[in-house]
Chain A
Amino acid sequence: SIQAHKEEDNPQKTMEVNGLTPVPDSYDYDLIVIGGGSGGLAAAKEAAKYEKKVMVLDFVTPTPQGNSWGLGGTCVNVGCIPKKLMHQAALLGQALQDSRKFGWQFTEEVRHNWVTMTESVQNYIGSLNWGYRVSLRDKKVTYENAYGEFVGPHTIKTTNKKGVEKLYTAERFIIATGERPRYLGIPGDKEYCISSDDLFSLPYCPGRTLVVGASYVALECAGFLAGLGLDVTVMVRSILLRGFDQDMANRIGEYMKEHGVNFIREFVPTKVEQVEEGTPGKLKVMAKSTTGDQIIEGEYNTVLLAIGRDPCTRKIGLDKVGVNINERTGKIPVNDEEQTNVPYIYAVGDILQDKLELTPVAIQAGRLLVRRLYAGATTKCDYVNVPTTVFTPLEYGACGYSEETAVEKFGEENIEVYHSHFWPLEWTVPSRDNNKCYAKIICNIQDNERVIGFHVLGPNAGEVTQGFAAAIKCGLTKEQLDSTVGIHPVCAEV
């Protein structure tokens, strides 16, 4: 029956694919979504709205430390959500210190309990996992906690925890398998190091921590760990926050350094050994300079690897159905309708080549894709001017071009950068830094001084940036910005 359904050759089927006549029950499902994360769930729920028969497959291959989690994908379980909550925990620690200057009196020393925080965070995540399952079941979307891989045209094999295999067919597929942390490939990395996949549910305080990497994951984690009172060192191979505006990246690094985070620049780890077992234990890390022969050693309770993430596209049978992937990166190239080179197979989320790796982007892409497939819509996902925020101790919000990219694209003489330091009113009384918060906009002189880049470094950067992203989408110009009266006293008025 699998052979009989090659609808590309069947003109009647082509009509049905356009939704003009009902699709015959020749496939098990109208749509199978591989991956129950931000993109996958959004697409599945949207398809269910149009009464399509949908299945979602979600499976978490345990980490080298044996860790796993429930439905919802990276963002919910080991990404944005726990990260922001722990960042908030660190900010509250700072607020407690500040509060004394505002008149609050408490005699007890303030200490942080890692286990209390982690249990609360995991409990919340658990309620989200459950909420997604209720939502899928309620909308009649079939969910299987099983690993999906293609075995032939329109056919996938699912394997659950117990090794039970089943085959399913579908008219269309959406691949939304996301990514997992990369390891270094050095002795001791998988046995002794942890990644962000393990950090947010670690049942013991990580203690003195070495964070390897200079990505936003590395800096955000290093940031909140230090904010909770831990001794943190970040080992950076070359630059911070590759791909982000480098001036802003360096300011973030400076702030973190001045606030107790140690940086070891231009070194890479070569070996990790266990000195002592325990929760946490003691690890010895050997590292080599990238600019010479120098070798250094350090002892830490925990080593957190945050050197990058790789797409989960290599072991899902894409070769069996002919889906092209970038062999070097594992990413899937798609057209502007999220379609792979195989017409009935689509992809959304972090696995896409040359697209931003953000939850809201995946959700938007998933929803719009499904509306185009089943509701006759034509809107494509707009990947331009997507706002982002890095939740380092000093938060960084951005939308549009970095200064370097703007110069490269438009020429230095055609852009104008307006910038300013600012001192949040809330920081004045507790005497916090008065020259660290910073904002800049990059304007295109040739286009009415259109704002093409927005960058802000300061508290609540995410909240500040969201509104400006909408303005930029509407074509905000410097003049319009100048003529907008500020709200006082808030950081955003700068």
Chain B
Amino acid sequence: FVRTAQSCHGRPIFALFCGDKDAEGRSWCPDCVTAEPIVRKELHNLPDKSVFIYCLVGDRAYWKDPNNEFRRNLKLTGVPTLLKYGTPQKLVEEECFKAELVRMLFTED
């Protein structure tokens, strides 16, 4: 994730972190299942030249490990997390269900 984000340096970067999906394409994380379509519906509001990264954080066991790389390096505390990389602006868990808040994250400074 970090490498991809660094390669986009200079552009606004938004990222959605979700639990891994199974063979049928369904995530083990029920909140991620709810949030993903809502977030995707707001993608057309992303500012020009911005980048949207969709990142899977592993299976449930890996995510629960308090030392996993996402918790350690990116300081993620929950999934789903939708954030604006390099800023303190983020939405966590049920906050991602609210289209209004997603839109605010994408469109406002």
Contact = CB atoms under 8 A, between A and B. Distances in A.
A61 interface: no
A124 to B, nearest CB: 8
A349 to B, nearest CB: 25
Interface string A124-141: 101101100110011000
A130 B88 contact: yes
Majority secondary structure of chain A interface residues (helix, strand, loop or mixed): helix
Contact of B100 (A127, A130, A137): A137
Contacts of B91: 134
A138 B98 contact: yes
Among B100, B101, B104, B108, the one with the most A-chain Cβ atoms within 10 Å of its Cβ is B104
Contacts of A129: 88
B98 A130 contact: no
Interface string A111-147: 0000000000001101101100110011000000000
Given A134-B95, A138-B98, A127 B104 contact: no
A126 B90 CA distance: 11
B101 A123 contact: no
Interface string B73-107: 00000000000000111110001001011001000
Nearest to A131: B88
Interface string B9-38: 000000000000000000000000000000
Contact of A137 (B87, B88, B89, B101): B101
Contacts of A138: 95, 98, 100-101
B35 to A, nearest CB: 15
Contacts of B87: 126, 130
B104 A133 contact: yes
Interface in A59-86: none
A81 to B, nearest CB: 14
Q: Size range of the interface on B? A: 10 to 19
Interface string B40-84: 000000000000000000000000000000000000000000000
B73 to A, nearest CB: 15
A133 B88 CA distance: 12
Contacts of A133: 104, 108
Contacts of A124: 88
Interface in A329-348: none
A336 B98 CA distance: 40
B88 A126 contact: yes
Interface string A454-475: 0000000000000000000000
B90 A130 contact: yes
A126 B91 CA distance: 14
Nearest to B98: A138
Contacts of A123: 88
Q: Which of B89, B95, B101 has the most CB of A within 10 A?
A: B89
Nearest to B84: A130
B7 to A, nearest CB: 24
Contacts of A126: 87-89
Nearest to A127: B88
A411 B108 CA distance: 59
B88 A134 contact: no
Nearest to B95: A134
Contacts of A137: 100-101, 104
A127 B89 CA distance: 7
Nearest to B92: A134
Contacts of B95: 134, 138
Contacts of B88: 123-124, 126-127, 129-130
A453 B100 CA distance: 50
Contacts of B100: 137-138
Nearest to A134: B101
A118 to B, nearest CB: 15
Nearest to B89: A130
Contacts of B89: 126, 130
A75 B43 CA distance: 35
Scoring A126, A127, A129, A130 by chain B CB atoms within 10 A of each residue's CB, the highest score goes to: A130
A413 to B, nearest CB: 57
Interface string A170-205: 000000000000000000000000000000000000
A82 B53 CA distance: 33
A227 B108 CA distance: 39
Contacts of B108: 133
Interface string A263-274: 000000000000
Nearest to B100: A137
A247 to B, nearest CB: 43
A129 B108 CA distance: 13
Contacts of A130: 87-90
A101 B100 CA distance: 55
A133 B90 CA distance: 11
B39 to A, nearest CB: 15
Nearest to A123: B88
B105 to A, nearest CB: 9
Among B87, B88, B91, the most chain A Cβ lie within 10 Å of the Cβ of: B88
Given A138-B95, A138-B98, 9 more contacts: A126-B88, A126-B89, A129-B88, A130-B87, A130-B88, A130-B89, A134-B91, A137-B104, A138-B101
Closest 10 CB pairs of A and B: A126-B88, A127-B88, A130-B89, A130-B88, A137-B104, A137-B100, A123-B88, A137-B101, A134-B101, A134-B95
Interface of A: 123-124, 126-127, 129-130, 133-134, 137-138
7 contacts: A123-B88, A124-B88, A126-B88, A126-B89, A137-B100, A137-B101, A138-B95
